[in-house]
Amino acid sequence: MKILENKTAIITGAGSGMGKAMAILFAKEGANVIVADLKTERVDSVVNEIISAGGKSTGVTVNVSNEEDVKKMCDTAVNTYGGIDILVNNAGVMDDFTPVGDVTNDLWNKVIGVNLNGPFYSCRIVVPLMMKKGKGVIINISSIGGLNGARAGAAYTASKHAINGLTKNIAYMYGKKGIRCNAIAPGGVLTNIMEGATPNAFGYERMSGGFATNIRMAEPNEIADLALYLSSEKSSFVNGSVIVADGGWTAY
């Protein structure tokens, strides 16, 4: 029997990078996968790839910072597959390494909207549904930027520290209800998250001092493998953890 047989998983930011790797892997392991992403063409591509390989998948175009979009995403999972067993809040945006003195309201609201409000909206909807079933798994994709202050700008760093706190609170509050909530804190991963970036010169200069200590970048599938473990019963006693997957970067 496949690891996620008959489970339904929502994965945000599933059109590329880590989210795409998770969607394809979860489907291979038997899950019904809701592929959610801001870009419709990427959603369609991933869904078609999963179905062509014999998996089950439905796509939804979603801006996770929009509460109505998140509700539509969750409704799609329930109406199509009968419920939600796994939620992976993977969608995220960077902040161009912008230090607080240069952060505009627009940049702050964009980063917090996607990186924090999005997971909050989805968790608020999904947790009651999981409580009715008596079980469920939530994975929030954090970052080593949520562990310290020197991996990104002010908005991104704040959003990832906050998602770690949200993760631990959900884990404690609902642990006795059969719901587990963990976060993955990746280091550098080979994705397109910096696509179209225009780094703040001062912020980038301050951040770049630590780049040389990074042993290597991860492939998206390496993070997907960890997400699969956390989604499965093999991790049944793992709850409220922020698991670092950075190749040893923060060991320096």
Could you tell me the two tokens for 178? 């059969």
Question: Cα-flanking dihedrals φ and ψ of residue 218, to 5°?
Answer: -90, 155
Name the strand (E) or helix (H) holding 33: strand 32-37
Name the strand (E) or helix (H) holding 35: strand 32-37
Catalytic residues: 156
Name the strand (E) or helix (H) holding 227: helix 220-231
Neighbours of 43 (CB within 10 A): 23
At residue 239, what is the residue type? N
Domain 8-251 sits in CATH 3.40.50.880: no
Domains of the chain, by residue range, sit at 8-251
Question: What is the full DSSP assignment across 186-221?
Answer: E-SBSSSTTTT----HHHHHHHHTTGGG---PBPHH
3-state secondary structure 87-124: EEECCCCCCCCCCHHHCCHHHHHHHHHHHHHHHHHHHH
Q: Nearest Cα to 142, choosing from 115, 118, 168?
A: 115
Q: Nearest Cα to 155, choosing from 208, 91, 110?
A: 110
pLDDT at 105: 98
Q: What is the pLDDT of residues 154-200, one digit of tens each?
A: 999 999 999 999 999 999 999 999 999 999 999 999 987 777 789 99
Question: Cα-flanking dihedrals φ and ψ of residue 222, to 5°?
Answer: -70, -35
Global pTM reads 0.96
Would you call 195 exposed, middle or buried from its count of C-beta atoms within 10 A (0-12, 13-18, 19+)? exposed
Do 183 and 164 contact (CB within 8 A), yes or no? yes
- In the chain (252 residues long), the average pLDDT of successive 10-residue segments reads 96 98 98 98 98 98 98 98 98 97 98 98 98 98 96 97 98 98 96 82 91 93 98 98 97 91
pLDDT at 37: 98
